[in-house]
Protein backbone atom coordinates (compact mmCIF):
# COMPACT_ATOMS: atom_id res chain seq x y z
CA UNK A 1 0.00 0.00 0.00
CA UNK A 2 1.43 3.42 -0.46
CA UNK A 3 2.06 6.74 1.12
CA UNK A 4 -0.88 9.00 1.81
CA UNK A 5 -1.24 12.58 3.01
CA UNK A 6 -1.86 12.88 6.77
CA UNK A 7 -5.10 14.23 8.19
CA UNK A 8 -4.28 15.13 11.79
CA UNK A 9 -6.88 15.18 14.52
CA UNK A 10 -7.18 18.29 16.68
CA UNK A 11 -5.18 16.60 19.46
CA UNK A 12 -2.42 15.49 17.05
CA UNK A 13 -2.22 18.93 15.43
CA UNK A 14 -1.96 20.56 18.87
CA UNK A 15 0.99 18.35 19.82
CA UNK A 16 2.72 19.15 16.51
CA UNK A 17 2.02 22.88 16.83
CA UNK A 18 3.48 23.01 20.36
CA UNK A 19 6.68 21.34 19.22
CA UNK A 20 6.98 23.58 16.16
CA UNK A 21 6.42 26.72 18.25
CA UNK A 22 9.53 25.77 20.22
CA UNK A 23 11.61 25.47 17.03
CA UNK A 24 11.29 21.76 16.30
CA UNK A 25 10.28 20.31 12.95
CA UNK A 26 8.18 17.19 12.30
CA UNK A 27 8.37 15.20 9.08
CA UNK A 28 5.87 12.33 8.68
CA UNK A 29 6.36 9.17 6.65
CA UNK A 30 2.93 7.58 6.70
CA UNK A 31 2.10 4.30 5.04
CA UNK A 32 -0.91 2.09 5.54
CA UNK A 33 1.19 -0.43 7.49
CA UNK A 34 3.16 1.94 9.76
CA UNK A 35 3.96 5.55 10.57
CA UNK A 36 7.39 7.12 11.00
CA UNK A 37 7.66 10.57 12.53
CA UNK A 38 11.05 12.20 12.06
CA UNK A 39 11.74 14.79 14.75
CA UNK A 40 14.29 17.56 14.16
CA UNK A 41 15.21 19.74 17.14
CA UNK A 42 18.22 21.55 15.76
CA UNK A 43 20.71 18.77 16.44
CA UNK A 44 22.64 17.17 13.60
CA UNK A 45 20.50 14.02 13.46
CA UNK A 46 16.79 13.38 13.41
CA UNK A 47 15.04 11.06 15.82
CA UNK A 48 12.63 8.54 14.35
CA UNK A 49 9.47 7.41 16.12
CA UNK A 50 7.69 4.43 14.58
CA UNK A 51 4.27 3.01 15.43
CA UNK A 52 1.33 1.24 13.86
CA UNK A 53 -0.84 4.36 13.99
CA UNK A 54 -0.24 8.04 13.35
CA UNK A 55 -1.52 8.99 16.79
CA UNK A 56 0.83 6.62 18.60
CA UNK A 57 3.87 7.82 16.63
CA UNK A 58 3.05 11.48 17.32
CA UNK A 59 2.38 10.71 20.99
CA UNK A 60 5.77 9.00 21.30
CA UNK A 61 7.48 11.97 19.67
CA UNK A 62 5.60 14.45 21.86
CA UNK A 63 6.45 12.49 25.02
CA UNK A 64 10.13 12.46 24.06
CA UNK A 65 10.02 16.19 23.34
CA UNK A 66 8.21 17.10 26.57
CA UNK A 67 10.64 15.04 28.67
CA UNK A 68 13.75 16.41 26.93
CA UNK A 69 12.80 19.96 25.97
CA UNK A 70 15.45 22.55 26.70
CA UNK A 71 13.10 25.40 27.62
pLDDT at residue 41, as a whole number: 86
pLDDT in tens, 30-67: 888 889 999 998 877 899 999 998 899 999 999 999 99
Minimal CA–CA distance to 60: which of 70, 50, 45?
50
For residues 65 and 21, is the Cβ–Cβ distance under 8 A? no
pTM: predicted TM-score of the whole model, two decimal places: 0.82
Domain ranges of the chain: 10-68
Q: What are the strands, taking DSSP E only, across 1-71? A: 25-30, 35-40, 47-51
Amino acid sequence: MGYYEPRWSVEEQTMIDLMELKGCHISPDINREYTNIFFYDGSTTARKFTADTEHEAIRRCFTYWSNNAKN
